[in-house]
């Protein structure tokens, strides 16, 4: 089955972020295709490489980056939600006149249209949120 | 006024999208960011319906004044939905009644449906986004 994932909550704050990554791993292991993972609301905070969780804890962002690399996943952060919350890639930092970017490897920033397209193109859109 | 990230392709079939608004308009950002999704989604010419239920019915209540909380009152934007061809607005009857509201208290014309009718509408959808 072709699946897309929507992550609506931030890492560590909410179980949704963990559940989304666990579900994605399980779906891939069962041979399903992941068309896209889209991050919205505080979910965009999953994509900052500046988070430093304690060493004896999981690192959710690094897990996404690793999973994306191994499975060629498309991890998309909503630009409107990201702008509010200070998640920037190089282009956005330049465009907004900010002095640095913080997006993690394997993620990209794009528009909400990417979420709608995922809804159109996928057999199921699976949502992780509050 | 096209931005680079708006160059999304419009191919693919028309699907039935339903946006379910369950939360109060202020206090959390879900209602505002849900509305942003709906406005963008309108460009994709899908079969869109909106539902307001639970405290979500307050999102479209008339006479909102947010001055004291310092947050933008975005309720007038719901009146623009018609211009985006988003015309199927459903409000759950039980949610209205338990809050002492009627359709006359709302900023947009809606179809009031009961819980069972809403369940049937949800059954017909292909993509349901709940905020």
Any B CB within 8 A of A17 CB: no
Identify the closest residue of chain A to B48 by CA–CA distance.
Answer: A116
* Torsional class of B34: left (φ above 0), alpha (ψ -120 to 50), beta (otherwise): alpha
**B14 SS3 class:** coil
Domain ranges of chain A: 2-128
pLDDT at A114: 97
Helix (H) or strand (E) holding A93: helix A90-95
Q: Choose, from A44, A75, A76, A78, the residue flagged as catalytic.
A: A78
Quote the pLDDT of residue B42.
Answer: 86
Mean pLDDT, residues B5-16 taken together: 64
pLDDT tens-digit map of B19-28: 999 999 999 9
Q: Are A8 and A42 in contact (CB under 8 A)?
A: yes
Question: Residue A125 is nearest to which of B6, B8, B127, comparing CB atoms?
Answer: B127
- Give yes or no for a contact between B18 and B121, defined as CB atoms under 8 angstroms apart: yes
Give yes or no for residue B4 having a pLDDT over 60: no
Cβ neighbours for B113, distance < 8 A, ≥ 6 positions apart: B90, B91, B92, B93, B121
Would you say residue B98 has pLDDT above 60? yes
- pLDDT tens across B32-41, in order? 999 999 999 9
Judge whether A103 and A49 are in contact, CB under 8 Å: yes
- Residue in A6, A111, A121 nearest the CB of B40: A111
Q: Which of A42, A37, A38, A40 is nearest to A12 (CA)?
A: A42
Q: What does the alpha-carbon distance between residue A40 and residue A32 come to, in Å, rounded to a whole number?
A: 23
Topology of the domain covering B15-130: Hypothetical Protein Ychn; Chain: A, (3.40.1260)
Chain A residues lying within 8 Å of B30, measured CB to CB: 41
What residue ranges do the domains of chain B occupy? 15-130
Q: At what angle do helices A15-29 and A60-71 cross, to 10 degrees?
A: 20
Alpha-carbon distance B110 to B87, whole Å? 9
Size of interface A-B (CB pairs under 8 A): 59
The domain defined by A2-128 carries CATH number 3.40.1260.10:
yes
Q: In Å, how far from its chain's centre is CA A83?
A: 15
HSE toward the beta carbon, residue A35, CA cutoff 13 A: 19
Q: Taking CA atoms, what residue in A is nearest to B41? A: A116
What percent of chain B has pLDDT above 70?
A: 91
Confidence band (pLDDT; 50, 70, 90) for B3? low
Instruction: Identify the closest residue of chain B to A3 by CA–CA distance.
Output: B127
pLDDT digits (tens, 9 = 90+) for B113-125: 999 999 999 999 9
What's the confidence (pLDDT) of residue B11? 57
Cβ(A128)–Cβ(A68) below 8 Å = no
Which candidate in B20, B40, B71 is best for mutational testing of the A interface (most A CBs within 10 A)? B40
Neighboring chain A residues of B15 at a CB cutoff of 8 Å? 119-120
User: Looking at beta carbons, which residues of chain A come within 8 Å of B130?
Assistant: 127, 129
Apex CA A96: angle with CA A94 and CA A98, to 5°?
Answer: 70
pLDDT band of residue B1 (cuts 50, 70, 90) is very low
Q: What is the pLDDT, as a whole number, of residue B44?
A: 92
Residue A78 is a catalytic residue:
yes
Average pLDDT, chain B: 92
Share of chain B above pLDDT 90, in %: 86
Nearest by CB to residue A110, choosing from B5, B15, B36, is B5
CA distances, B54 to each of A20, A75, B59, B60, B96 (Å)? 26, 32, 10, 12, 8
ipTM reported for the complex, 2 dp? 0.92
Regions in chain A scoring below 70 on pLDDT? none
């Amino acid at each position: 089955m072709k699946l897309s994932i929507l992550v609506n909550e931030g890492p560590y704050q909410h179980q949704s972020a963990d559940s989304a990554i666990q579900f994605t791993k399980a779906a891939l292991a069962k041979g399903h295709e992941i068309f896209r993972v889209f991050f919205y609301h505080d979910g965009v905070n999953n994509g900052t490489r500046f988070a430093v969780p304690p060493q004896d804890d999981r690192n959710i962002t690094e897990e996404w980056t690793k999973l994306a690399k191994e499975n060629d996943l498309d991890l998309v952060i909503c630009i409107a939600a990201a702008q509010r919350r200070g998640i920037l890639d190089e282009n956005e930092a330049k465009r907004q006149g900010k002095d640095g970017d913080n997006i993690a490897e394997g993620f990209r920033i794009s528009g909400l249209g990417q979420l709608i397209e995922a809804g159109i193109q996928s057999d199921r859109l699976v949502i992780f949120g509050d | 006024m096209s931005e680079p990230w708006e160059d999304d392709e419009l191919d693919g079939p028309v699907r039935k999208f339903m946006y379910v608004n369950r939360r109060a308009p202020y206090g959390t950002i879900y209602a505002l960011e849900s509305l942003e999704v709906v406005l963008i989604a309108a460009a994709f010419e899908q079969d869109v319906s909106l539902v307001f239920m639970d405290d979500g019915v307050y999102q479209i209540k008339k006479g909102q004044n947010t001055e004291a909380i310092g947050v933008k009152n975005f309720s007038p934007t719901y009146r623009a939905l018609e211009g985006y061809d988003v015309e199927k607005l459903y409000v759950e009857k039980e949610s209205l009644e338990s809050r002492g509201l009627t359709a006359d208290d709302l900023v947009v014309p809606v179809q009031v449906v009961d819980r069972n009718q809403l369940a049937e509408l949800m059954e017909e959808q292909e993509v349901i986004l709940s905020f």
